[in-house]
Structure 1
Amino acid sequence: MIKTVHNRGFRFLATPTVQVVAPTSPDPNVENNEKNVVGRPDQNYTVDMRRLDSVDDGRKFFRDRPTIAVLPFEKLGHDVRLEVLSKAVSYELILELSRLRWLYVIARDSSFRFDPANYDFNEVRQSLNADYVLTGAMEILGNKSVVDLELFSTLDGRVIWMDRRRGTLDDLMTLRGTIAAQVVSALEVWLQTEEVSRTASMATEQLDAWSAYHRGLNYMYRFNKQDNARATALFQQAIKADVSFARAYAGLSFTHYQNAFLNYVPDLLVERKNARQAAEKGFEIDPLDPFVNLSIGRASLMWGDFVNAQSWLERSRSLSPNYALAKFNIGLLKLLFGDSHACEENVRSALLLSPLDPLKYGMLCTLGIAYLVRGEYKEASLYCTQGASEPNAHIHIHAVAAAACHLAGNQKAAARWAAKVNKVKPENYRQQLFQKYPFYDKPMYKILHAAFEDLSI
């Protein structure tokens, strides 16, 4: 059928036949059919352009993740540096957002067609199929820059999040990278919260895979037995609806991890195995998802395999350098090894990137333990108390806060936190706690053990 001709290419040897297909009558419901014909007029290929342009809430394609467009930033003032800086920040935001595996990002060649000072959100939605738009304005005052940011929904034009970032112009590369990193981490919290609220009125059985996953995250981060069970069911529902949904497996791994870490179920060994298996299944589907890689690292940590855990956590961070949860877990691992300074560096970075993180209580408490390792008990008690006072802080956080306050000499606060722990603790709680936090630093272990003994924890 095909012959290769040296230095020329390919030659088709078969004799072609021509088949004439009679055109059908034009669709009376489609205006200007003649203009919508692709190819020759006698070919029967018509395209309903109105259907292609339709991007309303009834759009037909499968929405497996939200879509965001980053518009160019409005330039306030006439400083010539604004032209470079405004584009640089927008480009950096697109680059960093594109690392997020759960988000579609419109290419800049499309999103930059809009005038940042004069655009209509309906037009953005219809032209780009974008669910959300991130835009803002920039101003230079001397050697300082001011960046105003705005995230809004194209569904109704409602502002979801606004912020203002300031910096110096001494190093433009560092400035644009810092702004992008902090904004991306903030959007991870706000966008996922918005995704949950969009389906809040829907019955559970009506949720698609994406919506079930996000509702599961909402329950998962409440850190109690009942809501963790709800989250497990929702992740399983998401997997049933889409067996190739890697992040749903990562979420399922997290709930099994939580069952074992907080003793929600009697058979902790089964939960540890389930956490590992779910994470590995997610990795089979998408080996480049940071959340999936982090889940394997966390599961390895639960088995006491610190070397393997560190490898997976570092891989998660390399896939998404500004992933606050990866930095936090790396900091926790460094703490267990006794490296309080490396712990502090990673945890402070995580807090800077995600100041509203649902795991903020754990970040603050881990930072407090780093001060405990160095014998700085007053600072330790401050951070541990802040962590224990955060929403969703669990029994282990309360126990560490009690010990830190006791060591700092604040016996009243120590007694209050200890009472919360002793009210709900299971048998052999102290032994279980040190299984969750297997400190390699033996002096630290002895100090905490003595504090728990004094507080009858």
Structure 2
Amino acid sequence: MTEQRRLAAILVADVVGYSKLIGSDEAGTLAELQVLRTDLIEPQIAKHAGRLFKSMGDGFLIEFASAVQAVSCAKAIQDANGEGRLPLRIGIHVGDVVVQGDDLMGDGVNVAARVEGIAEPGGVAITRAVHEQVRDKLDLGFVDKGAIELKNIRRPVQVFVIGGTKIDNQATAPALPDKPSIAVPPFQNMSGDPEQEYFADGMVEEIITALSRFKSLFVIARNSSFAYKGKSPDIRQAGKALGVRYLLEGSVRKAGGKLRITGQLIDAETGSHLWADRFDGDLADVFSLQDQITMSVVGSVAPKIGQAEIERAKRKPVDNLDAIDMFLRGIAQMHELTQRSYEEALRLFYRTIELDGGFAAPYGMVARCYAYIRGQNWSVDKDLEVSETRRMATHVATLGSDDALALCSVGYALVRICNDDQLGTAMIDQAISINENLAVAWANRGGIGVLLGQHDAAIEQLQRSLRLSPLDPEAYWAETTIAIARTCQGNNSAAIIWTTKALARRPDYMVAFWVSAVAHAFSGKLDDARACIERMRDLNPAMRMSNLRAFIPLRRPQDVEKTIEGTRLAGLPE
């Protein structure tokens, strides 16, 4: 039998926020929907010579012989519905459809359905094919939204809108803030279950709240992000409308007793994907699942934005750097892990402070640099390191009492450089109370625990930091610190596993070679231990048994003596 096809104008209409309305008042919503259909939609369909070929709950699919009839009908429906309790979005496309009895299928229908999601509540969105046929016949003030990539549609579709609020008008688009900015639109409910709609909305609100704790981020409030609920906006247009550089999109799908949540971080300027992941869990404990996913998403997204911003700052001309660019370039220098790069990072952070003395983060980063310089045995003036760390701590206490990154950075330095265990620990604990999703705060807390000999608690804290940010470029530090704790506990096989992980990330991290040498020596693998010592001395030729005690930061005498014994056994020259 030959497949029947024809050209048709397809109108798709959908009630905005229907699932939520049903959840709050099922009987009343169903009654109002019936009135909307019989008293408004069906009469307008008949008046404009259309045919309702499918209705699905709150959705209506209507066929017209011409685009003019379809758009005229859509406009009449929206004008008559006005500010009704059941606002509609409408999408229209002209295209080829497949006829199956009274039903229609194919791209002509699919594109109309996707375009409907772009319309504002109370508005109408149409494709270029429709616009070409109606622009000279209907004076409706069409707004070109540009070519938009629609889900499961092979090529971008140029879309025009009429009616509704033009939230993406570039003339009124807010300027980008002076720090990384992100919006989290509502996640799509792919399961059709209203209960999952609440779960998805609640999770997005949790994510927005958690991201807001990062003082380095500008996070769009929930009410603005939720203007896109139920839509599939063009990423670039949404970014401009909200005044953000990044968008975090996601979806929720229910299958049996399981939930699957997907998320993706997108650069709104380029449309490129920076991160994507999916999370599966049981419906039996949805609130625990919500917390777990929020922690995982936020812990992954915040460092990814940081990396993207660092790359952006590195591309800027040197003569056009402001305080935040200077700060980001300093972070990039720290990632290089050389003595020269840390000297340059210090210069950049001090310059950042000159440009913006009210910005707390660079004070914390100065202290962090000094702590790392001490840890790598690069110190030139230890008295200066102590005095500057205390000066930075004073500024952070004054300026950054709510800045978790600054607090945890200077807190660690106070313990490592100044031996001020009480104040340093208190500042890191304050950072964690402000932002429990900040991976580096947990890493620094665990690092202090290892220094003080609190190995079991420290390992748990360090592993939490790795769960929060498994792809963090600085994860090697937490892995090496876990290895130190395992060595002190006598679990040398575990220590070797952790140093292997750390060196796979950073093959030039001297401390990891030292810990690996000790663990291999105690395991009887002396050839491997000596190889690690040789690599360690390639990175720092000044290392000797005679100056090792000054290098080891551990406080418990038994931990110090054990690592000295292992280093001598590994073959470090006297």
TM-score, normalization by structure 1: 0.82
Aligned length: 404
Root-mean-square deviation (CA), in Å?
2.3
Counterpart residue type for residue 358 of structure 1: P
Match of 2:237 in 1: 123
Distance in 1, matches of 2:312 and 2:255, equals: 39
Match of 1:353 in 2: 468
Note if 1:368 corresponds to 2:483. Answer: yes
Match of 1:260 in 2: 374
Match of 1:318 in 2: 433
**1:172–1:399 CA distance, 2 compared to 1 (3 A):** same
Q: In 2, are the aligned partners of 1:294 and 1:313 still within 8 Å (CA)?
A: yes
**1:453–1:206 CA distance, 2 compared to 1 (3 A):** same
Aligned runs of 1:224-373 on 2, under 5 Å? 224-301=338-415, 302-373=417-488
3-state SS of 1:223 partner: coil
Larger Rg belongs to: 2
Counterpart residue type for residue 401 of structure 2: P
Q: In 2, are the aligned partners of 1:222 and 1:392 still within 8 Å (CA)?
A: no
3-state SS of 1:199 partner: helix
Q: In 2, are the aligned partners of 1:145 and 1:167 still within 8 Å (CA)?
A: yes
Distance in 1, matches of 2:226 and 2:398, equals: 36
Q: In 1, are the aligned partners of 2:248 and 2:263 still within 8 Å (CA)?
A: yes
Distance in 2, matches of 1:199 and 1:366, equals: 30
CA positional deviation for 1:433: 4.8
Distance in 1, matches of 2:427 and 2:544, equals: 29
Q: In 2, are the aligned partners of 1:185 and 1:354 still within 8 Å (CA)?
A: yes
Aligned runs of 1:406-421 on 2, under 5 Å? 406-421=521-536
Distance in 1, matches of 2:402 and 2:308, equals: 25
Match of 1:41 in 2: none
Q: In 1, are the aligned partners of 2:530 and 2:571 still within 8 Å (CA)?
A: no
Note if 1:166 corresponds to 2:264. Answer: no
Counterpart residue type for residue 129 of structure 1: G
Match of 1:77 in 2: 191
Q: Where does structure 1 lack aligned partners over 5 or more consecutive residues?
A: 1-49
**Range 438-447 or range 223-232, more displaced:** 438-447
TM-score, normalization by structure 2: 0.66
Q: In 2, are the aligned partners of 1:291 and 1:316 still within 8 Å (CA)?
A: yes
Q: In 2, are the aligned partners of 1:223 and 1:392 still within 8 Å (CA)?
A: no
Q: In 2, are the aligned partners of 1:131 and 1:153 still within 8 Å (CA)?
A: yes
Counterpart residue type for residue 178 of structure 1: Q
**1:326–1:199 CA distance, 2 compared to 1 (3 A):** closer
Match of 2:51 in 1: none
Match of 1:26 in 2: none
Give identity over the alignment, percent: 25
Distance in 2, matches of 1:424 and 1:187, equals: 33
Match of 2:214 in 1: 100
Match of 2:335 in 1: 221
Note if 1:53 corresponds to 2:172. Answer: yes
**1:418–1:212 CA distance, 2 compared to 1 (3 A):** same
Distance in 2, matches of 1:264 and 1:309, equals: 22
Note if 1:154 corresponds to 2:268. Answer: yes
**1:336–1:176 CA distance, 2 compared to 1 (3 A):** same
3-state SS of 1:171 partner: helix
3-state SS of 2:284 partner: coil
Equivalent residue for 1:404, pick from 494, 519, 523? 519
CA displacement, residues 246-278 of structure 1 (integer Å, 9 cap, x when unaligned): 112222222233333323342122123223312
Match of 1:35 in 2: none
CA displacement, residues 261-303 of structure 1 (integer Å, 9 cap, x when unaligned): 3233421221232233123223322211011211231122122
Distance in 1, matches of 2:496 and 2:379, equals: 31
CA positional deviation for 1:426: 5.2
Q: Where does structure 2 lack aligned partners over 5 or more consecutive residues?
A: 1-168
Aligned runs of 1:439-450 on 2, under 5 Å? 439-450=554-565
CA positional deviation for 1:393: 4.7
CA positional deviation for 1:117: 4.5
CA positional deviation for 1:439: 2.8
Note if 1:451 corresponds to 2:570. Answer: no
Counterpart residue type for residue 190 of structure 2: L
Match of 1:111 in 2: 225
CA positional deviation for 1:429: 4.3
